[in-house]
Structure 1
Amino acid sequence: MAKRLAFAFGLTVAIGVAIVAYAAVTMKGLGANADELASNRMVKITRFTDLKDNFQTIGRYARNIVINNDPAFVEGEKKKIAELRAKNTEILAKLDKTITLPRAQELYKVIIENRRPYNAALDRAIEMAVKGDKAAAGAYLIGDVRTLQNVVFKAVDDSCDLQQEIADELANSAVETAAFSVVLMSGLALLMAVIGGAVGWRLARSLRLSLGAEPGILSEAVAKVANGDLSQPLVAAPGDTSSVLANVARMQSSLSSVVSNVRMNSESVATASAQIAQGNHDLSQRTEEQASALQQTAATMEQLNSTVRNNADSAKQANQLAQGASTVALQGGEVVGKVVSTMQDISSSSRKIGDIIGVIDGIAFQTNILALNAAVEAARAGEQGRGFAVVASEVRSLAQRSAEAAKEIKTLIGRSVEQVEQGTMLVDQAGKTMGEIVGSIQRVSDIVAEIASASFEQSSGIGQVGEAVSQMDQVTQQNAALVEESAAAAESLKGQAQQLVQAVAVFRLSHDVSAGSSYVANSAASAPVVERRGPDRAKNVTRPAFKTKPVAASKPAAEETRSASAAARTGTDDWDSF
């Protein structure tokens, strides 16, 4: 198409250039002919005419001299003849410079050759008339002078006719050239008009087919699409698949589909971001409560650790007392009374130890429950709680061992109390049973040593539990910070989603739902705080957090947001109860 249009335009331009060039050449030729006609031929015709008129006037002056006897008049006529001859000489000199044609040169030669004899004969006739021989002068004029005059006049007339003929030829040639030029240029102009009209029609038709509609209609449709108005679908002509209007219609359809999908997704994102923000807000509050509960638990474990250390000190002191009692028993019966008092002290201490062991048993039971709950929560946490699940399992195993040791110690303490009571009853028979008492005290010393060892192990285990609780406290504080960051990110996502909804609301679709979108966004933004705590969940038991790896704090915000969102969707993410 572009090549054909270029060829058509080029041909039109070539015809126009040809017309202009031909007109220029023709005008130049006509100008040359006109110049030749005006400045050469007509000038020569005028000169030859003047020359003939001068010759005729000279002849008339000569006849006047012949017929007039007035000397003054004769002299005047002679002067006039002399002036006209001078003019003829000047005219012939000018003609001599401009005559170039052979025929004109021949005639000019005849004029020059016969002019002198003609002037001489005429002078002779004048002279005869001046002398008074009028009759002879008249006869001479009619005879010889007229013969020479006829030759000169004929040469002048022939020269004038020749120049006139040449001028006529130039004029006729100019007329013919002008007529032919008019016809030719008219034809070329008509051809150029036809080609230009055809090119214009072809171009208009091609543009109409390429655009698919009038430029004003297409511009209005594109302006509506540019302004976001997609409510009025564009309709192309049947079978039109490649015009600008058809492509704009497809673009409008695609853009309408994209805007509709973006609008729906932005509304969903706005609603989800609002729910995430609300869930993060609830999670932040529960995380703070969890951190407070863990601080209390850490304080309690610190007190328990102090109690166990005191128990270990007491067991160590009991061991020393048992060793002292064994030494005293070896010294003899004189210290039996002291032994009785010591045995009573031992009985009292044993009861206290039994109480302490009961407390240790209860602590082990509570620790076992806490470890069980921690294992359950670690299992619920999945991959992130795997490390803490291992710690919880170890704590539970240690708690079970502590419980078994406590039970065994309690049993042994019970036996020791029974033996001490029997020793008190049989203290009067100390002399008989001194050996048995020494053995019993030795066994008591061993048992107390075992109690001290178990108390030390229990103190170490409780210390580990306290350390784990401290780590959970730190992790919970980190989680609280991450929850705050997640809440801020959720708020930012909420704002961006609302901005996206507002940005998409600029477009108007055929099934416009912008009002509903604003309503959804506003409803999501103003959603009330929802209590996610289950109705039957306990509220007086502290739920421990998970022990996370050190790299968990530096995970991308996107994973933290997804984790928080997943927790928010469970509906049972109460961190204050289990």
Structure 2
Amino acid sequence: MTVLVAAFAAMIAVVGGTGIATGRATNADLRAVYLEDAKGVDLLARDTVNLLWARIHLTNFDSVSSPEELTKLLKDAHAMVDAANAAWAAFAKLPVPEADRARLQAADAARTRFVKTALEPAITALERSDLTTYRDLNTTQVPQLFAVYDAALQPLVKARFAYGQARFERSQSRYAMSVWLSGGLLLAALVLSVVARGVLGRTLVRPLERAIHVFERMAAGDLATRLDVATRAGHRDETARLMHAVASMQSGLQKMVGQVRTGSDAIAGATRQIAAGNADLSQRTEEQASSLEETASSMEELTSIVKQNADNARQASTLALNASGIAVKGGEVVGRVVETMAGINDSSKKIADIIGVIEGIAFQTNILALNAAVEAARAGEQGRGFAVVAGEVRGLAQRSATAAKEIKALIGDSVGRVRNGSKLVAEAGTVINEVVVAVKRVTDIMGEISAASDEQSSGIEQVNQAVTQMDQVTQQNAALVEQAAAAAESLEAQAEALRRAVSAFRVEHA
């Protein structure tokens, strides 16, 4: 195909070059014919005609009947001479072949002699009314010198016609050669077109028909129809490259469709798994949301209980503080009782010396016993034993007051009893001190319990808020899972549609 295109291009170049060369040569000849030959002949004719008209005007002098007509005649004669001179000057400026230079010089000399020595002097004689000179010049010099000028001018005119005829013959010869060359090239083009038709039919049309058949099968979804390019394996023209490109495109399209089919099947399976996973996740999310709702309800109840425990702990701490104060006061009272019992013990040793004042001591003892009973009553359960002791002390004091006379006899026994009572009171004081320490410890523990309850209440409140937020997030996750499930179903439908669309293509199986 490249050779045919090159041949056609060469023929077109030859025809075009020949036409351009012929046209240029013909145009040059036509230009020369017009500018040199035709224009030169025209200028010579103008010169001759104007000179003849000037002679005619001079000859018409005899028919002039008035001075005005004479003036007009002379004016016209001068105008004719000027026009002739202008035409001759323009002719002299034209290109002149070397062979015509001598003719041009001879004609110019004859013309100058005619105009300067005959025609213009005759016109001047008329202007001066010198009729003798006028008639002499007009009858002798003017016709003779004009004949000489005309004889010298004819070779120039014939040469111009000869040059024009030669250029015309050259143009005709070139035209004939161009016609023969164009005819030969046209015949060669016809032969070459017949050859090109066969070559193009074998190298271009048939492969294109096979390619069109393959494209039609591909449009119908059949990608398995192969394009046979083995017969053109040795060719490297454009058609062979096109066939190889079509075969490569078909192979690439088969691979692409196969990959798309495999990918669509994989996408369809994956979307089904995603849809199933989303459904399972949605169910578990709903269950988790329900569990979180129950947890939130339980946390609210636990918060209420912890708050109630914190309130009870604060009340218990307050009561423990009160009990601690009472225990401290009881310890102080017991301390005073211990001191009093010590004094009684000392007094019992000296009772023999101070028996006179026993009634006063009994009275004071009675008062102290009464105070001890009151403090024991305030101590509650802890002071019950002390109340009993205080009651006995009061009874002893009363009996001492009523039986002061008998105390001497019983002093020995009383001293022993007082000594034992002092021991018991000392032990009671120790117990009361331990109770005070224990109550203080209980008070501290209750304070710690109250603080811990407050912290637990605050922590449970935070946990309750976190559970509430988790419940909200879980509900949002449930909504998102539902949306994801819907999107997965839509993706599955699209993947199925893609799989059905790709399944319309038939490809070769490896």
Query: Which interval holds the TM-score relative to the shorter structure?
Result: 0.3 to 0.5
Q: TM-score under structure 1 normalisation?
A: 0.41
Q: TM-score under structure 2 normalisation?
A: 0.46
Which is greater in Rg?
A: 2
Structure with greater helix share of residues: 2
